C-alpha cells in the first residue's frame, strides 16, 4: 500500500523513504535467503557456488546502501538504475527461497507445506512485474499495480500459513 502511494506521487524519486523501502526490502529478502541457506547441509560444489553468488550479492547491496548514506545526491539521481539491480537481486533471493521450500515440500509430501513455495512464487512474480515496469513504459501502471496485487496475494498466503501454524498449535494444546 505504501509503495502504491509513494509511486503515485509526482516527485517520488526525491523522497528518501523510497530508498529506504527499496533497500530494506532487499535486506529482508537477503535475510530470508541466508536463513534458508544456512538451515541445510548442501554438497561442497553447490555450497561453493552459492557462497560465491551470495557474497557478490551482499557486497553489491552493501555498497549501494553505503552509497546512499555517503553520497545521497549521487544516489538520489540514480534511483531507477539502482532499483533495477535491486529487483534482480530480490528475484535471485526469491528464486533460491522458492527452490529450497519447493524441494523440502517434495521431500515431506505434506499438503500443508505447498502454500509456502506458492507464496514465494507470488512475491517473485510481483518483483518481476515491477522490474518490467521499470524497464518498460513507466506510464503504463498495469505491471506496477499487478506486481502489488501479486505481492499482497503472497503476503495473504503467509498470513494463512501463520494462522494455521499458530491456531493449529493452540488447538492441539487444548485437546
C-beta neighbour count of 94 within 10 angstroms:
23
Q: Residue 154 above 80 pLDDT?
A: yes
Burial 100-122 (b: 16+ CB within 10 A, else e): bbbebbeeeeeeebbbbbbbbbb
* 173 lies in some domain: no
Tens digit of each residue's pLDDT (9 = 90 or more) over 77-93 = 567 777 788 888 889 88
Length of the chain: 175
Flag whether pLDDT at 54 surpasses 90. Answer: no
Domain-embedded: residue 175: no
Question: Is 51 within the bounds of a domain?
Answer: yes
**Does 162 map to a domain?**
yes
- Domain boundaries, position 62: 2-168
Residue 174 lies in a domain: no
Neighbours of 76 (CB within 10 A): 16
Residue 32 lies in a domain: yes
Is the pTM higher than 0.85?
A: no
Q: How many domains does the chain have?
A: 1
Amino acid at each position: 500500500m505504501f509503495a502504491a502511494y509513494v509511486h503515485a506521487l509526482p516527485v517520488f524519486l526525491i523522497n528518501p523513504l523510497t530508498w529506504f523501502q527499496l533497500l530494506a526490502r532487499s535486506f529482508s529478502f537477503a535475510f530470508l535467503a541466508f536463513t534458508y541457506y544456512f538451515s541445510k547441509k548442501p554438497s561442497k560444489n553447490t555450497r561453493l557456488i552459492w557462497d560465491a553468488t551470495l557474497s557478490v550479492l551482499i557486497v553489491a547491496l552493501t555498497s549501494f546502501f553505503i552509497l546512499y548514506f555517503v553520497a545521497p545526491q549521487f544516489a538520489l539521481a540514480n534511483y531507477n538504475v539502482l532499483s533495477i539491480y535491486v529487483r534482480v537481486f530480490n528475484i535471485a533471493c526469491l528464486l533460491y527461497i522458492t527452490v529450497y521450500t519447493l524441494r523440502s515440500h517434495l521431500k515431506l509430501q505434506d499438503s500443508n507445506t505447498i502454500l509456502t513455495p506458492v507464496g514465494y512464487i507470488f512475491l517473485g512474480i510481483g518483483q518481476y512485474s515491477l522490474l518490467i515496469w521499470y524497464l518498460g513504459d513507466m506510464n503504463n501502471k498495469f505491471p506496477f499495480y499487478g506486481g502489488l496485487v501479486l505481492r499482497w496475494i503472497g503476503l495473504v498466503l503467509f498470513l494463512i500459513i501463520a494462522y494455521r501454524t499458530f491456531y493449529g498449535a493452540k488447538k492441539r494444546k487444548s485437546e
